[in-house]
Amino acid sequence: MNLVILAAGQGKRMRSSLPKVLHRLAGKPMLGHVIDTVRTLAQSLKQPARIVVVVGHGGEHVREAFAATDPSLKFVTQQPQLGTGHAVMQAVPWLDEVEPTLVLYGDVPLVQAGTLQALAQAAGDGVGVLTVRLPDPSGYGRIVRGPDGKVQRIVEERDASAEERHIDEVNTGILVAPTAQLEDWLALLGNDNAQREYYLTDVVALAVADGVAVAACETADVNETLGVNSLVQLAQLERVAQLRIADRLMQGGTTLADPARIDVRGELKVGAEVHIDVGCVFEGRVELGDRSRVGPYCVVRDAVIGRDTEILAFSHLDDCQVGADARVGPYARLRPGAQLADEVHIGNFVEVKASHIGLATKANHLAYIGDAEVGARSNIGAGTIVANYDGANKHRTQIGDDVHVGSNSVLVAPIVIGDGATVGAGSTVTREVSGGELTVARARQATVPGWKRPVKKPR
């Protein structure tokens, strides 16, 4: 199947230098949603997909955004922009005349593959147009049917009569047609209309005149047909997209404290009996294991969370792995490269970066662990930091099993702390610590008799 995606619009109402189709919806460019949908359609129809994207304003940015990750896409430029029919003309040299052509829009991101499959089936060997009925059809092209109920033509609102403007069945712009005939009809398009443009919708009347059947496939979900022309509309569709995701999660057994207060900006894979509280944001690829729980207002990006693990409120996890039966937060931060084994506890205001934390190790309060290997069953006291940066380079720290580091200690990397070692509170450790021993590295306490606190001089 030929799949033509029109993405040449400037999007002036977006008030942005970013091409309209690159604005993100649920963490992905709008055009990316459409491309993924047509690929799913092609797979369901068991047909190879030939995707042609028609670009215009900001076309180079659109190419750059997709060419590296999807080199099979063919980009063509529409310049100047003279209407939808003119846009499809630019794609004609790249179409396979044997296969039908489906035309979609890069700024209509929520259309579903099942709807497109129904459209293709309804069209058969003829033309199919996707329609929807609206209580207020203002601004849309109307579907004009004959006395027999068959589609005769599509009339744009600016060109419609007063009677035609009362029609509530409207054109979504999405159309499928036999390619060889579509090419002939495109060549016959004129621009004698209010906007002096070549309308793709005029293909319908040309098909009827040639005796080609035109089927109108009506969708009940208006959200599938909504385009984005402003940031307001983008925000409205964002909520629609998120509610779709929330519904899918709940249908799969996930408990959401409030389906209206979750944002998934990527791919979220969940196990059984997962619980997600309000205000959570999931970005990139995230996996939540069975019976895991995510507390309110957490941000989780590119992370794997093990079974029975709890992420408490206001924690940030980025490019990390957390094992089973672990506990993170509240107000914890796991930075890229953090790997937590099973039963690890990372508490409030603890930050872990590029470190492996061993089985059942705990850092419950106000600590920083960076570029470190920490063994099993160790305890990192409150206020402890691993000083991994010398001002120019990062250095590694090795902390063994069953180590206890007292509160307010500084471990100056590179350093090795042996199994079973204890570091006294307030120590600044700069040399290797022997296993099984107590090490104290702090200044001796002293009292200065008769010392008086300085006072301000009078002005």
Q: Active-site residue numbers?
A: 365
Question: Hey, which residues does 373 pair with through a beta bridge?
Answer: 356, 398
Residue 292, helix vs strand vs coil:
coil
DSSP state of 234: H
Rounded CA-CA distance 55/62 in Å is 7
**CB neighbour class for 217 (10 Å; exposed up to 12, middle 13-18, buried from 19):** buried
| Spatial contact of 231 and 14, defined as CB atoms under 8 Å apart | yes
Rounded CA-CA distance 292/276 in Å is 9
Residue 203, helix vs strand vs coil:
helix
Strand 299-305, strand 316-322: pairing: parallel
- Between the alpha carbon of residue 239 and those of residues 86, 100, 252, 262, 306, the distances in Å are 33, 34, 20, 10, 29
| Spatial contact of 194 and 158, defined as CB atoms under 8 Å apart | yes
Rounded CA-CA distance 93/89 in Å is 8
Rounded CA-CA distance 118/106 in Å is 20
Rounded CA-CA distance 254/246 in Å is 9
